[in-house]
Amino acid sequence: MKDFKQIIAEEISKATNIDKKIILENVEVPKDTANGDYAFPCFTLAKELKKSPAMIATDLQIKILENLKSSNQSEVLEEVTAVNGFLNFKINKKIIAAEVVKEFDIKKEKFGSEEQEEQKNIVIDYSSPNIAKPFHIGHLRSTVIGGALYNVYKYLGYNVVGINHLGDWGTQFGKLIEGYKRWGSEYNIEENPIDELTKIYVRINALCKEDENVLEDCRNNFKKLEDGDEYCKKIWQKFRDLSLKEFDKVYNILGVKFDSLNGEAFYSDKMPEIIDILEKSGKLVDSEGAKVVNLDSENIPPCLIIKSNGSTTYATRDLAAILYRARTYDFDKALYVTSYEQALHFKQVFSTAKYLGIDEKYTKGLKHVPFGMVQLKTGKMSTREGNVIKLEDLLNEAIEKSRAIIESKNPNLENKEKVAKMVGVGAVIFNDLSNGRIKDEIFDWDIMLNFNGETGPYVQYICVRAKSVLEKAGYIPEVNSVDLSKLDDEDSKNIINTLYNFNQTLKNVTEKEEPSILARYLITLAEEFSSFYNNCHILGEDDNIQNTRLYLTYMVKTVLEKGLNLLGIEVPDKM
């Protein structure tokens, strides 16, 4: 498709002699498109041109309109106006429509996708629940944000590796082993592993608070595990296998898969190399019996590599993972989708990674993708205190609520169970992804399972409505039967504009690592189609109009379904 942003940037560059790349970065799609399809904020040039934004906008408007008289872009740029320091551009709607229809005809179900000229490797570290702990609603965010980013990057032609960096190592296993030694026979962990192990964990934590000696025994257990003690390893493996079996139930409901399940334990034999490299570089120093890397030059607290009792830390394992992933995946970008509470940890780890002797490409590609916490109305969740809501319970509740709504509104619907799962799970995923990822969420069943308004079920319903129109028509028109002149009503123009921006929307998702951009886009497209459906007769008009509007319906259905799939949401055929 023609890149209208490029055309606009070129015209501004010609009028100012400023590099087109600098201009292009600032051309934007305004929230309110009444003034134009694109806008350029002239305050970005105020310093360089030494004029007020309003004066720059007026001068540019005159120059560009003059240049357009002798330019082949005069048909494309229909209107150029200066408003309050912004330069606004309206694109010829027939040209946009022609571009969208032509591109869609070529790509169909792959509309909006790309093939990268030089394929880049993206590693995404997401979900990462802790073994032997409940897979609770706090893990939902990392799982669905990471899953959506994985899908979008792949759709845009990147080579993507999804890693579930399981929390299967660390001092908590020393505690669990101690608890299991003391009370293992009292709990049936084979039948109900996570719940029973959680009870052991809560109980041993309480005892550790009362008795410092018990806490020391727990620390020693983990040290034994690191040193390869057979008894500790055997119990640890049992905990891991049983936990993964439980986690898979949730992943199957969510439809989430990973390319690697290498968790923290995978790097246990790779940490000595990290310690050796840091020691040889002279960066590892003693600090009160522990070993740290000082990061004073970056105003960051030191990165703890070895504790005073000789055991390693999260940071040691994350550094080993960076080295392994650089060698194995040759990544251009490595994303870590975790809560913002870990921001300092990743600053320390990424700064320390510069001393591993790896190419600067890898350290530059490291990126923390933080998200807000999910909290209960009563406060923060804590496995130690035992006050968590399990994700499996949430998803099953959502499916049950969907089933009840279907029974009341459409009791004769075929495949009710399948539809209830798609709608319920879709509601939970969309609720999470439609909010900016950095926001904290107060968990509320009523909000989470609300099926009205700007929700996943609403977008699914509009997509199903478009499907039903096509089914009723009994055919999808050939592209050569589309008459672009019949797309001149406001509803059709809005849809065409939004469809044109699908690819750019997906690029914005990857540039900002923000799936909510796609979720909000889908709400906009669904609302626009709803308005089109109500205001424009699709069926029963003359063939020319019917074929054109049916093809527009087909495009909307395809993009809504594809967009929801990229977020990890399925769409039923009927609702």
Mean pLDDT, residues 505-534: 97
- The residue among 1, 4, 24 whose CA lies nearest residue 13 is 24
Question: For this structure, is 537 an active site residue?
Answer: no
Active-site option among 20, 102, 133, 234: 133
Task: Assess whether 28 and 78 both reside in one domain.
Answer: yes
Picking from 330, 350, 375, the residue at the C-terminal end of a domain is: 375
Task: Assess whether 56 and 172 both reside in one domain.
Answer: no
Q: Is residue 366 part of a domain?
A: yes
Q: So what's the pLDDT on residue 511?
A: 96
The burial of 349, by beta-carbon neighbours within 10 Å (0-12 exposed, 13-18 middle, 19 or more buried), is given as buried
Least confident of 19-23, 40-44, 137-141: 137-141
Bridge pairing between strands 121-125 and 159-163:
parallel
State yes or no: pLDDT of 31 exceeds 90: no
Active-site option among 139, 390, 557, 562: 139
CATH number of the domain enclosing 544: 1.10.730.10
Q: Over the Cα atoms of the chain, what is R_g?
A: 28
CB 84 within 8 A of CB 54: yes
State the pLDDT confidence band at 486, using cuts at 50, 70 and 90: very high
What does the alpha-carbon distance between residue 488 and residue 497 come to, in Å, rounded to a whole number?
12
Mean pLDDT, residues 17-37: 88
Task: Assess whether 68 and 19 both reside in one domain.
Answer: yes
Q: Is residue 573 part of a domain?
A: no
State yes or no: pLDDT of 241 exceeds 70: yes
Task: Assess whether 230 and 132 both reside in one domain.
Answer: yes
State yes or no: pLDDT of 386 exceeds 60: no
Mean pLDDT, residues 238-266: 94
Give percent of the chain with pLDDT exceeding 70: 96
Task: Assess whether 341 and 397 both reside in one domain.
Answer: no
Q: Is residue 106 part of a domain?
A: no
Mean pLDDT, residues 215-219: 93
Query: Which residues, 6+ apart, have CB-to-CB distance to 335 below 8 Å?
Result: 122, 123, 124, 125, 126, 146, 149, 367, 369, 513
- The residue among 382, 308, 406, 315 whose CA lies nearest residue 352 is 315
What does the alpha-carbon distance between residue 177 and residue 221 come to, in Å, rounded to a whole number?
7
Q: Is residue 121 part of a domain?
A: no
Task: Assess whether 364 and 402 both reside in one domain.
Answer: no
Q: Total structural domains in the chain?
A: 3
What does the alpha-carbon distance between residue 103 and residue 111 come to, in Å, rounded to a whole number?
7
Q: So what's the pLDDT on residue 318?
A: 96
Question: For this structure, is 368 an active site residue?
Answer: no
3-state helix, strand, coil in the chain (%, to 5): 60, 15, 30
CATH number of the domain enclosing 50: 3.30.1360.70
Picking from 69, 91, 113, the residue at the C-terminal end of a domain is: 91
Task: Assess whether 366 and 410 both reside in one domain.
Answer: no
Task: Assess whether 521 and 455 both reside in one domain.
Answer: yes
Tell me how far apart the 2 most distant CA atoms of the chain are, in Å. Answer: 87
Find the domain containing 453 and state its range. 391-566
State yes or no: pLDDT of 378 exceeds 70: no
Mean pLDDT, residues 306-327: 93
What does the alpha-carbon distance between residue 417 and residue 406 come to, in Å, rounded to a whole number?
10
CATH number of the domain enclosing 218: 3.40.50.620
State the pLDDT confidence band at 438, using cuts at 50, 70 and 90: very high
Q: So what's the pLDDT on residue 440?
A: 83
Angle of CA points 139, 144, 148, to nearest 5°: 155
State the pLDDT confidence band at 144, using cuts at 50, 70 and 90: very high
Task: Assess whether 366 and 307 both reside in one domain.
Answer: yes
Picking from 375, 406, 428, the residue at the C-terminal end of a domain is: 375
Q: How far apart, in Å, are the Cα atoms of 84 and each of 8, 53, 452?
A: 19, 8, 38
Active-site option among 5, 136, 401, 557: 136
Q: So what's the pLDDT on residue 310?
A: 84
State yes or no: pLDDT of 317 exceeds 70: yes
Phi, psi of 350 (to 5 degrees): -65, -35
Q: Is residue 267 part of a domain?
A: yes
Q: Is residue 102 part of a domain?
A: no
pLDDT tens per residue, range 163-174: 999 999 888 899
Q: So what's the pLDDT on residue 420?
A: 95
Q: Is residue 381 part of a domain?
A: no
Task: Assess whether 368 and 452 both reside in one domain.
Answer: no
pLDDT tens per residue, range 154-211: 999 999 999 999 999 888 899 999 999 999 999 999 988 998 998 999 999 999 999 9
Mean pLDDT, residues 377-383: 59
State yes or no: pLDDT of 382 exceeds 60: no
Task: Assess whether 518 and 448 both reside in one domain.
Answer: yes
Q: Is residue 169 part of a domain?
A: yes
Question: For this structure, is 136 an active site residue?
Answer: yes
pTM of the entire predicted model: 0.92
Task: Assess whether 421 and 490 both reside in one domain.
Answer: yes
- Tokens representing residue 320 in the block: 């080993």
pLDDT tens per residue, range 88-116: 999 999 999 999 999 999 999 999 999 98
